[in-house]
Structure 1
């Protein structure tokens, strides 16, 4: 797979404060790459350096195997922080101005408006748009020059649940068209639903990187309840049980790697016990994220 972005030793200091420390990362073509981290972790600073808004203190990065240049950056669309448009101009007029600034054809405007589902509101003034519509217009503007890569910094920040869902579906649609997306967020659920890969930053340091599909792998935990007095003893007798604890009125059984919830269910059934509640629980990105942070 082709490497779109390669980061080596990227560092940014603000006086005594080190915002990003020796960051090494690679993003491959077609990935939806999530950058996760609490406030102050260095996500926005990193994106600012990648877009040429902020100069690195040390380290380097390449886009498509080449050092960043003005021509290369035309292949990259970005929505950084809060989008800025003229409030008394329509969505259409704002995009026409942006197309002039970016020196890209105005013919692209109907296409991007349709993609972000704003064609029906293109002639309305920007100030009448909801927060979600404003964010979608910003994404439309970032796509005007038909970039290969789209960078989104906290794209769902401040949105209501419907707005978050709209941006999520739009991100999936853009990714399905073949674009590489780099997305910074602190909303773990959104990253798990949208991204293919993710990295975790803490105080400017990279502490984890890998595929989202790896989340939840490993030992399963099964939540069990049954109307028998000796359930705890039965669960301990199961050869696949690694550990048991009681939580929220249920037994939480952590299984050994080669065992699954169906094996435990079969074991109980063979003992004459029918579970009234048996749910296999995969590790969520939130739980994994908190574990990663606590380890560092």
Structure 2
């Protein structure tokens, strides 16, 4: 796949504060790339540098293998912070103005309004829109010139569960249309549901990156229970058990790599034990995220 964004040693200092430190990233065409990190990790600062809002102190980045330029930025749509719209104009009129400024084809307006599900409210004044509708209009505005890349900074910030679900579906539809999406978020569950790849930042430094599909791979954690007084002792004898812990009514068995729940079930059955409960607990992105931050915590 084509590399659409390459970041090498990107650094941003604000006086003594190093907001982004020697950041290296690569984003391929068609990816939905999530940037994760706690507040102050450098996500928004990074996006600001990529969009030319602020200048880097050191390092470099390129879009489509080229240095940033006005021509390149026309191929990128972005929603950073809170976009400005005229409250007394309708959603349609605001987008028409936006299209004029971007020299975009006005025929795109109907398409993006349909994409963000605002067609029925396109003639209503912007000031009557809910927070979720305002965010969806902002996404429509970023898409009006049909960019190849869409950048979103905390796209679901402040939204209720319904608004979050709506934005999630919109992101999936945009990705299905072949666009590359880069988004910053602290909502780990949402990133796991919409992103193909992710990176974790901590105090301006990259501490992990990889495919979302890799989350939970490797060692399995299996919860098991059975009507047997010596279940715990027998579990300790299983060669595939890395550790065995009592967890409420059940036992949690951390498996050695290469062993799975069916191996454990077979072992117990061979010892005359029929399990009453057996379940593999897949690691969530939230758990992996916390583990990554814990492993990379400064001494």
Where does residue 146 of structure 1 map in the other structure? 146
1:278 CA drift (Å): 1.1
Give the TM-score of the pair, scaled to structure 1. Answer: 0.98
1:87 CA drift (Å): 1.5
Where does residue 224 of structure 1 map in the other structure? 224
Where does residue 60 of structure 2 map in the other structure? 60
1:83 CA drift (Å): 2.4
**Aligned to 2:88, what secondary structure does the other structure show?**
coil
Where does residue 189 of structure 1 map in the other structure? 189
Q: Distance in 1 between matches of 2:67 and 2:293?
A: 32
What whole-Å deviation, never above 9, does each CA across 1:135-167 have from its counterpart, x for those lacking one? Answer: 111100000000000000000111111111111
What whole-Å deviation, never above 9, does each CA across 1:77-126 have from its counterpart, x for those lacking one? Answer: 00111222111211101111111111112111001001111101101111
Where does residue 24 of structure 1 map in the other structure? 24
1:273 CA drift (Å): 2.0
Where does residue 198 of structure 1 map in the other structure? 198
Where does residue 74 of structure 2 map in the other structure? 74
1:286 CA drift (Å): 0.8
Where does residue 177 of structure 2 map in the other structure? 177
Where does residue 132 of structure 1 map in the other structure? 132
What whole-Å deviation, never above 9, does each CA across 1:155-211 have from its counterpart, x for those lacking one? Answer: 011111111111111111100111000010011111111111111100000111111
Q: How does 1:200-279 map to 2 (within 5 A)?
A: 200-279=200-279
Give the TM-score of the pair, scaled to structure 2. Answer: 0.97
**Which stretches in structure 2 are left out of the alignment for 5+ residues?**
none
* 1:164 equivalenced with 2:196 (yes/no): no
Q: 1:248 to 1:124 in 2, by over 3 A?
A: farther
Q: CA RMSD in A?
A: 1.0
**Aligned to 1:276, what secondary structure does the other structure show?**
strand
1:249 CA drift (Å): 2.7
What whole-Å deviation, never above 9, does each CA across 1:15-58 have from its counterpart, x for those lacking one? Answer: 11010001111101111100000000000000000000011111
**Matched residue pairs, number?**
296
**Which stretches in structure 1 are left out of the alignment for 5+ residues?**
none
Q: Distance in 2 between matches of 1:32 and 1:251?
A: 37
Q: Distance in 1 between matches of 2:281 and 2:116?
A: 36
